[in-house]
Amino acid sequence: MSQIRVQAPPMIDVQPNDNGLPGLAALGQMVGALLTIGLMAAVAGVAISATAWAVGSHSSNPHLAGRGKNGVLAAMAAALLIGAANTLVTFFNNAGAAVH
C-alpha cells in the first residue's frame, strides 16, 4: 500500500507598509481631509436637524420634530464613527491578523 502525504501550505506573512507605493503620504493627507469634511458635515447635520426639531416642536408638527430628532441622532452617530475610524480599523486589522 502507498501512503498519502499531505503537506501543510506555506505560511504567507504579508504586512502593511508605508513605503510600498509612491504617494501614500498624499493619500493619508487626503483621507485626513475627508475625515475633517465628514466632521464638518456632522456638525451641520446636528445644527440643521436641531433647528427642524425645534420648529416642529413649537409648531405642533410631530412629524417634523421626529425627523429632526432622528437627524440629530444620525449626525451624532456619524461623528462617533468618524472620530473612531482609526481605532476601529486598527482593532479589526489586529483581530484579523490574530486569526491563524
Measured distance CA(69)–CA(82) in Å, rounded: 20
Q: What is the pTM of this model?
A: 0.77
1 pLDDT above the threshold of 70: no
pLDDT band at 79 (very low <50, low <70, confident <90, very high): very high
Query: Which residues, in sequence order, are CB contacts of 41 under 8 Å at separation 6+?
Result: 78
Query: Which residues, in sequence order, are CB contacts of 21 under 8 Å at separation 6+?
Result: none
Mean pLDDT in residue range 64-78: 98
**Residue 39's pLDDT is what?**
97
pLDDT, tens digit (0-9, with 9 covering 90-100), for 13-65: 788 888 888 999 999 999 999 999 999 999 999 999 999 999 999 999 999 99
**Residue 5's pLDDT is what?**
82
Measured distance CA(79)–CA(47) in Å, rounded: 13
